[in-house]
């Protein structure tokens, strides 16, 4: 049963081209909205990727929780001192970064619940001073964490590999286990872990797959996409349920 409340849940958007004339739109997948409607129980609020025009202070004053969403775009290399990325190989969305990076820092400072998913995990790490690998598949000893873009959803978003979860940690308590099969749709991954974050799970190649925060307040980041299968996967549902409980408990 979904416990509904008047809590406002911010969902980060990306700038994407849509329609015949490739107009710029601010967009987030319906899966995040449904997760808030069906599991979290709050009111979904889409946060536009409007760069320097964003009023981050007002967002922090009004919101009760934040979901940093996944996206095909990468965190812009300029924000973590990485080399330039070929745009045709790894599209960036700096207008989103200009919103989400200060937003997540402000949310953590307030103790506001934050759930970071895929690109969101990478944003979280960069926001707190960490760095990223740009293409895990190009690094010796790493498995390919990306999934080819193809139309059949069950293959694109299906389980791709296992992660090992730190026993006794925050994620272990949420999903109630130390191993998990996850989907995998990312090129970037955490290189230098930011101060203020703890590793909660790793893939078989050592890639960091989940983190939590060391300060007070709910802060969980996962490299996979629990929003794709929360209606059929217990662990995915529990992640959103735990976020919902934290939001309702937050002042």
For 219-250, the pLDDT digits (tens) are: 999 999 999 999 999 999 999 999 999 999 99
- Any idea which residue has 């662990």 for tokens? 235
Distances (CA, A) of 110 to 48, 68, 86, 126, 213: 21, 16, 36, 18, 13
User: Which of helix, strand or coil describes residue 155?
Assistant: helix
Average pLDDT in the chain: 93
Task: Write out the catalytic residue numbers.
Answer: 118, 225, 227
Report which DSSP code applies to 225.
-
Does pLDDT of 146 surpass 80? yes
Domains annotated for the chain, with CATH where assigned, are 8-249 (3.40.50.880)
The predicted-structure confidence for 70-104, as pLDDT tens digits, reads as follows 998 899 999 999 988 776 666 899 999 999 999 99
Distances (CA, A) of 179 to 175, 182, 201, 212, 235: 9, 10, 9, 17, 10
- C-alpha torsion 138→121→148→235, nearest 10: 130
Q: State which of 25-29, 132-136, 155-159 shows the largest mean pLDDT.
A: 25-29
């Amino acid at each position: 049963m979904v416990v509904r409340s008047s809590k406002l849940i911010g969902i980060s958007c990306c700038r994407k081209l849509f329609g015949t004339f490739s107009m710029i739109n601010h967009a987030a997948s319906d899966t995040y909205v449904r997760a808030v409607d069906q599991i979290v129980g709050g009111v979904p609020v889409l946060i536009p990727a409007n760069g320097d025009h964003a009023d981050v202070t007002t967002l922090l004053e009004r919101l009760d929780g934040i979901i940093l969403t996944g996206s095909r775009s990468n965190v812009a290399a300029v924000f973590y001192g990485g080399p330039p990325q070929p745009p045709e190989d790894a599209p960036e969305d700096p207008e989103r970064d200009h919103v989400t990076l200060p937003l997540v820092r402000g949310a953590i400072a307030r103790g506001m619940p934050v759930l970071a998913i895929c690109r969101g995990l990478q944003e979280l790490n960069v926001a707190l001073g960490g760095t990223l690998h740009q293409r895990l598949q190009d690094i010796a000893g790493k498995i390919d964490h990306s999934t080819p873009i193809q139309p059949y959803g069950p293959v694109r978003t299906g389980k791709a590999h296992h992660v090992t979860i730190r026993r006794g940690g925050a994620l272990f308590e949420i999903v109630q286990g130390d191993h998990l099969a996850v989907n995998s749709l990312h090129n970037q991954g955490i290189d230098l872990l930011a101060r203020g974050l703890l590793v909660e799970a790793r893939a078989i190649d050592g890639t960091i797959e989940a983190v939590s925060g060391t300060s007070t307040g709910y802060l969980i980041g996962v490299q996979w996409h629990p929003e794709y299968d929360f209606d059929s996967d217990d662990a995915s549902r529990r992640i959103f349920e735990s976020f919902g409980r934290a939001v309702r408990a937050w002042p």
